[in-house]
Structure 1
């Protein structure tokens, strides 16, 4: 059996160290042998060093936008505690998270309300707010710490499937992705969601189903994509169990009869989304209120053909093709399309469960927005796509030397704009 056809499991279980896996793309680039990978690239601290180095640039960019550019009318200059350095990270949805952390959830029919925002991030902020001067500073600290976890666990997870060179490139690619400024301190829930999601999947790969279920609770209560996480975690456990039994074909791979009692803890992850729905039902009478609230005036993203077929974007392209908002929406759409093109590689490299996860994330901007807006941010969590994109770049070093710096420059430009209050995602 070749190493290229195996899946790494927890070292503490040597008798089950290798499972037969058909989830590998035999034509994929495996990268150079370990001996050809620079020693520093495989150190435990390397992802943190990359994240911190780029973080200095992002903080400088947001600081510049906040302190040296004219502000968006929605965000006049503030002179509160820490606003010189932290004010640029508290934009748009940050106001909602502050309100939830301080006052809890409210709902007003037909009006934008805080029930649209899932609870993990604001609850964590509330629990830690005693330690910091303001809610916003607390949120920034939570985001930075979560992102540090993301880059460390991303490399650990990736190295179970690909070479160290590809895993390192995946970390670098995520750190400079044009919308990754959200990972460097912005008071949004994305970083915490990604950290818990990838953490849960990594624990599944190491056969730590109980801990995967517990971490999964935080992920599934973190964002609407939590529904996809809950499903994909269970599918991955079923898939791995049946692969170990020599299953072939999709039907055999996902035969639930292959599960054992030891696999049951993974279902704990459903308590996150289940608890959130139960809370909405008890307090407001609608367990799916987070869906219906999207149709509120101003958001205008209720389910239906006008949203699914992007009528709003088509009107913008017809009447205002060169407006900043139109070009922004098109850019988000291109990110979504790019992710779709990577789906076949995700399937070949990681299997069906991760494919379901990625498709679920893509479906949010594809089917849940009227103009793709937010797609770049929503897909930050599509870490399997990041890894297969890194594989392509490792196989093309000259292209990598162009893509990574160009992406970094785009991210810094957007970070400056976000610092002044521009609405970008």
Structure 2
């Protein structure tokens, strides 16, 4: 059964990846040829260009030149270091910085989805695990895992790997992967809390006593901690990545917490595209928050706590929900919860798969056309 599920998922992921690549390449070709003076490039370069946009330039800058920090302005310190380091390592093999970034995502993203299936099988049955994996593979913003030069694919691979290792009883490996994950994204509290509580549940289910060794998941914050120390040493500002958010208009405060900019954009100032974009991200955030409580009940306190924190951090930080659709990829246990809730609703599940498949292609093309998707 597992081989059949793995084969099915692998074929779906391959089909989704190829469809996203085609849409991305076509979108990049269209965007590129809006400028009649643009140089002619090869077909393979259009695909890469379609996966490079927006924050990709920041990762490229870090990989090539290192970090910079200008207080209160947009600065590269807002982006955590593991993904740029991976890009730099691949460029040493001969690829240019953009090819390297796409290659890292292209390798990590599909592998993360396949690894998700192995993890899910340890918690639920084969059928539910496959349904959940298909929901993840065809989730609209999963196109960020299929080659886009963003850190999401690397982070998801590491965090799913950490929890899979924990489920298998490999505590040291889980902590090591967790530490790498916290060097890729600023969500260390979620990883630490999730691994720590799940370890407690794991020991309790086996009737084993808790020991000091079981506190090792705290060390999964080392990736985050080393980056903070780096910022303190080089810029004298350990949390410069928070201050840099001011450059994007994302500063903590009551306006962000109440989402006043969202209401302003949706009901007063935004054009049709902006309104639709913000409504979609807000809707997905609402669905994710609604799934957190069922996750506690169905998957346990560890995964419930992980999802609550990893959804809560960007939810509190964002002023208008923008980007939440992509950030929710990190809350991967929610896809299992959704699959379980839809167990007796096959038509709804199939409808979500179909909607997701279409959305993947549309969003891939939109991203390549330089629309601000997430």
Q: Distance in 2 between matches of 1:225 and 1:86?
A: 28
Q: CA deviation at 1:80?
A: 6.2
Q: 1:301 aligns with which of 231, 243, 250?
A: 250
Instruction: Look up the SS of the partner of 1:319 in the other structure.
Output: helix
Matches within 5 A, 1:323-402: 323-402=272-351
Q: Distance in 2 between matches of 1:384 and 1:361?
A: 11
Q: Distance in 2 between matches of 1:151 and 1:110?
A: 37
Q: Distance in 1 between matches of 2:321 and 2:92?
A: 37
After superposition, the C-alpha distances for 1:97-132 in whole angstroms (9 at most, x for unaligned) are 000001111101221000000111111111121224
Q: 1:124 aligns with which of 75, 86, 91?
A: 86
Q: CA deviation at 1:79?
A: 5.2
Partner of 1:286: 237
Instruction: Look up the SS of the partner of 2:186 in the other structure.
Output: coil
Residue 183 (1) aligns with residue 145 (2): yes
Partner of 1:8: none
Question: Unpaired segments of 5 or more residues in structure 1?
Answer: 1-36, 247-257
Q: CA deviation at 1:381?
A: 1.2
Partner of 1:422: 371
Out of 321-330 and 190-199, give the one that drifted further: 321-330
Q: CA deviation at 1:265?
A: 4.1
Instruction: Determine if contact 2:17/2:146 at 8 Å carries over to the other structure.
Output: yes
Q: Distance in 1 between matches of 2:98 and 2:39?
A: 13
Instruction: Look up the SS of the partner of 2:238 in the other structure.
Output: coil
Instruction: Look up the SS of the partner of 1:268 in the other structure.
Output: helix
Instruction: Look up the SS of the partner of 1:181 in the other structure.
Output: helix
- Alpha-carbon spacing, 1:80–1:234, altered in 2? closer, same or farther (3 Å): farther
Report the aligned-residue RMSD: 2.1
Q: Distance in 1 between matches of 2:205 and 2:3?
A: 35
- Alpha-carbon spacing, 1:72–1:259, altered in 2? closer, same or farther (3 Å): farther
- Alpha-carbon spacing, 1:80–1:134, altered in 2? closer, same or farther (3 Å): farther
- Alpha-carbon spacing, 1:369–1:416, altered in 2? closer, same or farther (3 Å): same
Matches within 5 A, 1:265-276: 265-276=216-227
- Alpha-carbon spacing, 1:40–1:238, altered in 2? closer, same or farther (3 Å): closer
Q: CA deviation at 1:77?
A: 5.4
Instruction: Determine if contact 1:66/1:87 at 8 Å carries over to the other structure.
Output: yes
Q: CA deviation at 1:243?
A: 4.0
Instruction: Look up the SS of the partner of 1:371 in the other structure.
Output: coil
Q: CA deviation at 1:401?
A: 2.4
- Alpha-carbon spacing, 1:133–1:309, altered in 2? closer, same or farther (3 Å): same
Q: Distance in 2 between matches of 1:284 and 1:191?
A: 29
Q: CA deviation at 1:59?
A: 0.5
Q: Distance in 1 between matches of 2:144 and 2:38?
A: 21
Which has a greater percent of helix? Answer: 2
Out of 262-271 and 134-143, give the one that drifted further: 262-271
Q: CA deviation at 1:364?
A: 3.0
Q: Distance in 2 between matches of 1:94 and 1:309?
A: 30
Partner of 2:46: 84
Partner of 2:354: 405
After superposition, the C-alpha distances for 1:182-215 in whole angstroms (9 at most, x for unaligned) are 0110000001001101110111111101111111
Matches within 5 A, 1:307-326: 307-320=256-269, 323-326=272-275
Q: Distance in 2 between matches of 1:268 and 1:138?
A: 30
Q: CA deviation at 1:360?
A: 1.5
Q: Distance in 2 between matches of 1:194 and 1:133?
A: 24
- Alpha-carbon spacing, 1:71–1:230, altered in 2? closer, same or farther (3 Å): farther
Partner of 1:203: 165
Q: Distance in 1 between matches of 2:56 and 2:41?
A: 16
> Which structure would you say has the larger Rg?
1
Partner of 2:55: 93
- Alpha-carbon spacing, 1:295–1:263, altered in 2? closer, same or farther (3 Å): same
- Alpha-carbon spacing, 1:394–1:294, altered in 2? closer, same or farther (3 Å): same
Instruction: Determine if contact 1:72/1:421 at 8 Å carries over to the other structure.
Output: no
What TM-score, normalized to structure 1?
A: 0.83
Question: Unpaired segments of 5 or more residues in structure 2?
Answer: none
Instruction: Determine if contact 2:266/2:274 at 8 Å carries over to the other structure.
Output: no
Instruction: Look up the SS of the partner of 1:302 in the other structure.
Output: coil
Superposed structure 1 runs of 4+ greater than 4 Å apart = 69-73, 76-82
Q: CA deviation at 1:321?
A: 6.0
